[in-house]
Amino acid sequence: MSPERQDPMNLREVLDAVRATWWLLPLGAVAGAVLALVLALVQTPLYTSSTQLFVSTTAASSTLDAVQGREFSEARVQSYARLLTGRDLAGRIVERLDVDTTEGEVQDSITAAAVPGTVLIDVSVTDPRPERAQAVAEAVGQEFPGLVSDIEAPVAGGEPLVRVTVTDAPQLPTAPSSPDRFRYTALGIVLGLVLGVLAAVARRRMDRTVKVPDQAAELVGAPVIGTVLKDASLETRHVADSFSPGRAAEDYRLLRTNLQFLQVDEPPKVIMITSPAPGEGKTTAAVNLGLALADSGRRVTVIEADLRRPKVTRYLGLVSGVGLTNVLAGTADVEDVVQQYGDSGLSVIGAGPLPPNPGELLASTQMAALLEKLRGDNDFVLIDTPPVLPVADSVGLAVLVDGVLVSVRYGRTLKEHARQVGVTLERVGATVLGLILNIVPPKAELVATHGYGLEYGYDGARPARHKA
């Protein structure tokens, strides 16, 4: 079996993945917000005290001197901003304050930026202790003018060309400047949403189950001729109520219509219904398709040929004592074991006593002869058989029928299993008529796309229903 090729997902497939697992987004957002808030709470709070310095020239005897002095100051502020974060100033501050800190720590706590188009420099000091942040900021205003004076002093002596003054004294910070819990939380929510989308896409890419009709058809090599929505009543009664609010009965009628238009020149009459694995709705499909065909006036017989786990008679409330195995063993005639389901017009042949060799019985000449007899007496003969992959019972019978319907369950049937069923049936020369995409959740994307969820019920009195 060749590995499945993974094509890049387009935008629509991404949106479909997000819609199918929408709960991952709020879950990711909540998880991101909580994690970000925890990170903010465990971090050491930092306090920031700010000051502002004004740079000017010391001599301006004329208007021209004032203009030139301003240009000179603007050219200097960029360099002074670098000096403010240098080691020389940090050393002077440590000596002035005589605090338990190093020059490197003071240097790292200071940030400075020149205000564009001005001769102002904004200085900020960040420290875990608000008092020390204010003290260092005050020391900057006290020590930096002296540092500038030393640097800018003329070689021949005299007054420095530049003067630095404090225009905005630092204040004692009362609230931490970081971490910003609101910003952390908002960022955590955004990142959580992104991770939720990525998780939804990854989940779709890693999903090995059948969910897309076109994909299922490609895997098995046959078209999807029916889609049956999940109906809670079918899980208990297994027989669709034609007049209930659920959509299942109408889905089986659509399946009936599609089946009748397959191979118009030689329409199939003897049809085997199976599935890749257990629990994929094959028996329920066989029973309800039989009822839908009988409701349209067709003569229909359903054979309970799953001789390992027979369920047809139990679903329909019929007797399970005698049936198919008696006929194949020659101990009873067909007329002796056929049962009628109420006034529906549906005939049922139960499994009978369970044999030790079900595969041999289903592939026997006696089974072929029985099917030929039932072909002449019915418009349709539906055979419920075991799943294809666990046992070989269905494979031997598949060559005796006109065609096979494969029930695949949405979100449960594995892609590898669906592909293997197609390969197995093709190997023995069986004809796969189509697929039944079964038990599709009402919120599935294909339900809205194809209008499967739309209701159009009776308005007024309802006709009488069949009674079992």
Q: Give me the pLDDT at residue 181, please.
A: 82
Same domain, 27 and 92: no
Q: What is the mean pLDDT of the chain?
A: 85
Alpha carbons within 13 angstroms on the beta-carbon side of residue 67 total 3
Q: Would 270 be classed as within a structural domain?
A: yes
> What pLDDT digit, counting tens, does each position of 170-186 carry?
999 998 888 888 888 89
* 40's tokens: 């903010």
* 466's tokens: 């069949």
- Are 427 and 397 in contact by the 8 Å Cβ rule? The answer is no
Q: Give me the pLDDT at residue 361, please.
A: 93
> What pLDDT digit, counting tens, does each position of 109-119 carry?
999 999 988 88
Same domain, 30 and 121: no
Q: In sequence order, what are the residues at sequence separation of 6 or more whose Cβ sits closer than 8 angstroms to the Cβ of residue 138?
A: 51, 169, 170
pLDDT band (50, 70, 90) for residue 382: very high
How far is the C-alpha of 313 from the C-alpha of 321, rounded, in Å? 10
Q: Would 463 be classed as within a structural domain?
A: no
Q: Give me the pLDDT at residue 461, please.
A: 53
Q: Give me the pLDDT at residue 64, please.
A: 45
Q: Would 184 be classed as within a structural domain?
A: yes
* β partners of residue 438: 409
Same domain, 220 and 318: yes
Same domain, 196 and 141: no
Same domain, 309 and 327: yes
Q: Would 4 be classed as within a structural domain?
A: no
Instruction: Examine the fold and report which residue of 140, 168, 196 is the final residue of a domain before the chain moves on.
Output: 168
> Closest Cα partner for 197 from 13, 447, 414, 448?
13
* β partners of residue 120: 54
**In this predicted structure, which of 164-178, 185-199, 342-356, 453-467 has the lowest mean pLDDT?**
453-467
Q: Would 317 be classed as within a structural domain?
A: yes
> What pLDDT digit, counting tens, does each position of 13-27 carry?
777 778 778 888 899
How far is the C-alpha of 164 from the C-alpha of 219, rounded, in Å? 80
Q: What is the dihedral of CA 207, 434, 403, 393, to 10 degrees?
A: 20
Which helix (H) or strand (E) segment holds residue 426: the answer is helix 415-427
Q: Give me the pLDDT at residue 3, please.
A: 45
- Give DSSP secondary structure letters for 273-329: EE-SSTTSSHHHHHHHHHHHHHHTT--EEEEE--SSS--HHHHHT---SSSHHHHHH
Domain of residue 24, residue span: 11-43+180-206
Same domain, 383 and 414: yes
pLDDT band (50, 70, 90) for residue 2: very low
> Closest Cα partner for 400 from 379, 371, 366, 425?
371
> Closest Cα partner for 170 from 144, 142, 138, 143?
138
With H, G, I as helix, E, B as strand and everything else as coil, classify residue 268: coil
In angstroms, what CA-CA distances link 299 with 269, 315, 380? Answer: 11, 20, 6
> What pLDDT digit, counting tens, does each position of 256-283 carry?
999 988 876 788 999 999 999 999 999 9
Same domain, 248 and 310: yes
- Are 422 and 413 in contact by the 8 Å Cβ rule? The answer is no
pLDDT at 75 over 80: no
| Per-residue exposure over 407-429, b if at least 16 CB sit within 10 Å of its own CB, e if not | bbbbebbbbebbbbbbebbeeee
- Are 25 and 193 in contact by the 8 Å Cβ rule? The answer is yes
> Closest Cα partner for 267 from 373, 369, 378, 349?
378
With H, G, I as helix, E, B as strand and everything else as coil, classify residue 121: strand
Same domain, 201 and 246: no
Q: What's 5's DSSP letter?
A: P
Q: Would 3 be classed as within a structural domain?
A: no
pLDDT at 74 over 90: no
CATH number at residue 98: 3.30.70.1130
Same domain, 255 and 191: no
> Closest Cα partner for 435 from 264, 276, 304?
276
Average confidence (pLDDT) over 70-75:
67
pTM: 0.65
Give the count of domains, the chain: 3
How far is the C-alpha of 40 from the C-alpha of 442, rounded, in Å? 42
Same domain, 142 and 224: no
> Closest Cα partner for 370 from 303, 318, 425?
303
Q: What's 464's DSSP letter?
A: P
Same domain, 239 and 384: yes
pLDDT at 50 over 80: yes
Same domain, 416 and 289: yes
> What pLDDT digit, counting tens, does each position of 391-440 carry?
999 999 999 999 999 999 998 999 999 999 999 999 999 999 999 999 88
How far is the C-alpha of 378 from the C-alpha of 399, rounded, in Å? 20
What type of residue is 408?
V
What type of residue is 52?
Q
Q: Would 188 be classed as within a structural domain?
A: yes
> What pLDDT digit, counting tens, does each position of 218-261 carry?
999 999 999 998 887 788 888 887 665 567 888 999 999 999 88
Average confidence (pLDDT) over 319-328:
91
Q: In sequence order, what are the residues at sequence separation of 6 or more whose Cβ sits closer than 8 angstroms to the Cβ of residue 272?
A: 305, 383, 385, 394, 397, 398, 401, 403, 404, 405
Q: What's 8's DSSP letter?
A: P
Q: Give me the pLDDT at residue 447, please.
A: 65
**In this predicted structure, which of 76-85, 288-297, 352-361, 429-438 has the lowest mean pLDDT?**
76-85
